[in-house]
Structure 1
Amino acid sequence: MPQLPPCYGIIPARYESSRFPGKPLADILGRPMFWHVYQRAIQCPLLGRVVLATDDHRIYNAACRYNVPVVMTGADHASGTDRVLEAAEQLGLPQDAVVANIQGDEPLLAPEMLTELLEPFADPAMRVTTLAARIDAAQAASPDQVKVVWTKRGGALYFSRAPIPYDRDGVPGAFWGHVGLYAFRMEALRRFVALGPSELETRERLEQLRLLENDIPIYVVPTTHRTCGVDRPEDVDKVIARLSENA
């Protein structure tokens, strides 16, 4: 049975956000949002370590207060994945490591999703993985919900803010929403950052397109787990309601 390489989780958390400045510090039941993400991530048994990566002293200081491991990174990164690489290098992660990029705005993250994300790396050929979940047509119509289509072997064909695939003749079919979790082998993570932003990435504002444009395959894992991401301040109340239901 092939063994998994050492796996680590990094949670990028920047302060600036056009729709929700200071989002990682949003109060959720008396704790900052990043704390909830961290507490869920460390429940994944495949992760040897989970660390917050930020560019802001307010977030850094809050992490220290709540005993969340944290590293300070530069403020000029073009994407969260660039920040993840800097953090991975600061931490001195081994060359054979797999690094999970765990979105800091998913306080309802199911630890099982991280397991699904990491298990494919038992295959030595695996370079990058991500998740997708079924969505309905109304969700697919929203540009905030990224959609994905993939091959029969699981290789991503495209990600878009537009509804894909387009049903020209109205034939019913499934839509799959991209779940913004990624895992990279260290060499693929370094390659991503070295390439710099691509044309499609810039047009769609989707960093994963950088990989596809440069022929770096992304393996898509379907998941039945549901999250409730925080994009805007009003989303915090939805998260609180879900947490209160499960209390």
Structure 2
Amino acid sequence: MQHHAKRAILGVIPARLDSTRLPGKVLRTIRGRPMLHHVFAYASQCGLLDDLVVATDSKEVYEYCVCNQMKVRMTSSCHASGTDRIHEVMQTLPADIYVNIQGDEPMIRPAHLEALLQPFLKDAAVQVGTLKTSITADEAHNPNCVKVVTDTTGKALYFSRCAIPYNRDHVPETRYFKHLGIYAYTRSALDRFHQLPPSRLEQAEKLEQLRFLENGIPIYVTETPYDTIGVDTEEDLARVERYFQDLESTGDSFPAACREFVIPADPG
């Protein structure tokens, strides 16, 4: 991983084990390797990251990382979100930009992170960045798929679980974009987020990024052609397994091979 433009960029993978819908999900296997290992291996291929660390509140995840030479930090179990967990990491690991790489996004590609960081490389004033990908009108009506609309300069106007924009007259050119929950923030934006109380829109939509918008902090949204499946359920896990199986069968160059992995010995 190389340094870039004198601004230190740290990738952080928040990895909680106590997921309610899919218990222990970050250590569930996909193509024989734990999901977290896939995320770490693919993110580490991004040359813009100066370093990469897993942030967890789980002894099991911590031990897995140590066994597999993956840099890891133990964090509090009290955090309401991955953003708060990254804020804790920020106290001991200094950087200029922090990249929030979800531990349940095994389809992450280096290309996602490169696109995400472009606005920061072009403009020192950018504080927060995220990604979007084009979807169909049918997909836009799924409340589990978060949509985003942006202004002409690429700044987010709003994120919603509703289909936005509402296409009243069925204009055929109307496009819908899914928000991919991968973020980059400057140190000061992360600090500000942590100090602000949860906002009203954030609580209504259950979308933490609205806290930035409600408090006048712009979010730059870059388009990517690569969709991902965030793993929340057994069905998601099965879909991701099929995705990797299809990649292998077509000989796609992504993803590069993961290193062999080690399962920590049971202390009992």
Same fold, TM-score > 0.5, yes or no: yes
Residue 164 (structure 2) pairs with residue 168 (structure 1): no
Residue 90 of structure 1 aligns to a residue in which SS? coil
Q: Which consecutive residues of structure 2, in runs of 5 or more, have no partner in the other structure?
A: 249-268
Residue 118 (structure 2) pairs with residue 149 (structure 1): no
How far is the alpha carbon of 1:16 from its aligned partner? 2.0
Residue in structure 1 matched with residue 49 of structure 2 by the alignment: 47
1:4, 1:119 within 8 Å by CA — same for their partners in 2?
A: no
Residue in structure 2 matched with residue 129 of structure 1 by the alignment: 129
Name the CA shift for 1:4/1:242 in 2 (closer, same or farther; >3 Å): farther
CA displacement, residues 157-178 of structure 1 (integer Å, 9 cap, x when unaligned): 0001111111122223110000
Amino-acid identity (%): 47
Q: Give the structure-2-normalised TM-score.
A: 0.87
Within a 5 Å distance, the mapping from 1:1-247 to structure 2 comes to: 3=5, 5-91=7-93, 93-94=94-95, 97-122=96-121, 123-172=123-172, 173-247=174-248
CA displacement, residues 79-117 of structure 1 (integer Å, 9 cap, x when unaligned): 1101011112222x14xx111001111111111110111
Task: Write the distance in 2 (CA, Å) between the matches of 1:143 and 1:234.
Answer: 17
How far is the alpha carbon of 1:199 from its aligned partner? 1.2
Task: Write the distance in 1 (CA, Å) between the matches of 2:29 and 2:246.
Answer: 18
Residue 234 of structure 1 aligns to a residue in which SS? helix
Task: Write the distance in 1 (CA, Å) between the matches of 2:37 and 2:198.
Answer: 30
How far is the alpha carbon of 1:4 from its aligned partner? 5.9
Hey, which bits of structure 1, 4+ residues long, moved more than 3 A?
none
Residue 52 of structure 1 aligns to a residue in which SS? strand
Q: Which consecutive residues of structure 1, in runs of 5 or more, have no partner in the other structure?
A: none
Task: Write the distance in 1 (CA, Å) between the matches of 2:81 and 2:90.
Answer: 15
Q: What is the letter of the counterpart of residue 229 of structure 1?
A: G
Q: What is the letter of the counterpart of residue 155 of structure 1?
A: K
Larger Rg belongs to: 2
How far is the alpha carbon of 1:197 from its aligned partner? 1.3
Q: Give the structure-1-normalised TM-score.
A: 0.94
Q: What is the letter of the counterpart of residue 98 of structure 2?
A: V
Q: What is the letter of the counterpart of residue 125 of structure 1?
A: A
Task: Write the distance in 2 (CA, Å) between the matches of 1:199 and 1:79.
Answer: 17
Task: Write the distance in 2 (CA, Å) between the matches of 1:155 and 1:119.
Answer: 14
How far is the alpha carbon of 1:15 from its aligned partner? 1.6
Residue 55 of structure 2 aligns to a residue in which SS? strand
Task: Write the distance in 1 (CA, Å) between the matches of 2:6 and 2:212.
Answer: 23
1:200, 1:209 within 8 Å by CA — same for their partners in 2?
A: yes
Q: What is the letter of the counterpart of residue 164 of structure 1?
A: I
How far is the alpha carbon of 1:225 from its aligned partner? 1.6
Residue 85 of structure 2 aligns to a residue in which SS? helix
How far is the alpha carbon of 1:65 from its aligned partner? 2.2
Task: Write the distance in 1 (CA, Å) between the matches of 2:241 and 2:61.
Answer: 21
Residue 237 of structure 1 aligns to a residue in which SS? helix
CA displacement, residues 98-146 of structure 1 (integer Å, 9 cap, x when unaligned): 1100111111111111011112112111110000000111211111100
Q: What is the letter of the counterpart of residue 31 of structure 2?
A: L
CA displacement, residues 217-237 of structure 1 (integer Å, 9 cap, x when unaligned): 000101112222212112112
